[in-house]
Structure 1
Amino acid sequence: MLGRLILCCALLCPAAPGMAAPRGGCDHLRVAFYEDGALFYRTATGGWTGIDKDVVDELARRLDCKLDVSVDSRVRIWAGLANGNIDISVSAIPLPEREKIGRFVPYMIDRNFVLLHRGLSARLNGMDSFLADPQYKIAVVKSYKHGRAYEAWLAKLREQGRVYETPDHLSMMRLFKLGRVDAVMVTPTSWYPLVKQEQLAGTYSVMDWAPRENMVSGLVLSRRSVDEATVERFRQAVKAMREDGTLRRIFERHTDADTAAQMVNF
Structure 2
Amino acid sequence: MIRRFIRIMAIAGVAGAAGALFAARPEALQPQALDGLSADPARGEAVFWAAGCASCHADADAKGDEKLVLAGGQRFASAFGTFVAPNISNDVDAGIGGWSTADLANAMLHGVSPDGAHYYPVFPYASYSRAALQDVVDLRAFLATLPADPTPSAPHEVGFPFNIRLGLTLWKALYLDSDWVVTGDLSPEETRGRYLVEALGHCGECHTPRGALGGLQTDRWLAGGPTPDGKGRFPNITPGALDWSKADIAEYLNSGFTPEYDSAGGHMALVVENTAHLPAEDRAAMAAYLKRVAPVK
| TM-score (normalised: structure 1) | 0.25
Q: Which has the higher strand share?
A: 1
| TM-score (normalised: structure 2) | 0.23
Question: Higher RCO, 1 or 2 (CA under 8 Å, sep at least 6)?
Answer: 1
